[in-house]
Amino acid sequence: MALYQNGDELAHKVDACFDKVHSPGTAAPYSGIYICANCRDEYACNAGDPLPPQNHRQHNPSTGAIRWKLLIQTQNGPS
Ligand SMILES: [Zn+2]
């Protein structure tokens, strides 16, 4: 589970972008932290870079396919 110290630096947002599932190796649509919905492994990825493939380090194939979901979306500059 992702950790943080100062919650004032995070903002809650309800958006479909957090529900969408991404396959391994596809380009990350947003910069941020992604979580595998099956094994809960977390991975920081920049927008446009490929999400980790099927052999990502903790994923046990017996739990099903890797299913990346956006967990924390990072933002640049003033919001
Ligand atoms: Zn996984």
Q: How far is the CA of 52 from the centre of ligand 1 (A)?
A: 9
Residue 65 maps to a domain: yes
Query: 64 CA distance to ligand 1 centroid (A)?
Result: 8
Per-residue pLDDT at 79 exceeds 80: no
Phi and psi based region of residue 63 (left: phi greater than 0; alpha: psi -120 to 50; beta: remaining): alpha
Residue 15 has pLDDT above 80, yes or no: yes
User: Can you tell me which residue has the tokens 């003033």?
Assistant: 78
Structural domain that includes position 36: 14-73
pLDDT at 62: 86
Asked if the structure places residue 9 within a domain, the reply is no
Q: Could you tell me if residue 79 is inside a domain?
A: no
Number of domains in the chain: 1
C-alpha torsion sign, points 16, 22, 28, 29: negative
Question: Does some domain include residue 33?
Answer: yes
| Residue 51 near residue 25, CB atoms below 8 Å | yes
**6: in domain:** no
Output phi, psi for 61, to 5 deg: -55, -20
State in Å: Cα 58 to ligand 1 middle: 6
Report pLDDT digits (tens) over 21-57: 999 999 999 999 999 999 999 999 999 999 998 776 7
Please report, in angstroms and rounded to a whole number, the separation of the first and last CA atoms in the chain. 25
**Whether the predicted pLDDT of 17 surpasses 90:** yes
Neighbours of 36 (CB within 10 A): 23
Residue 8 belongs to some domain of the structure: no
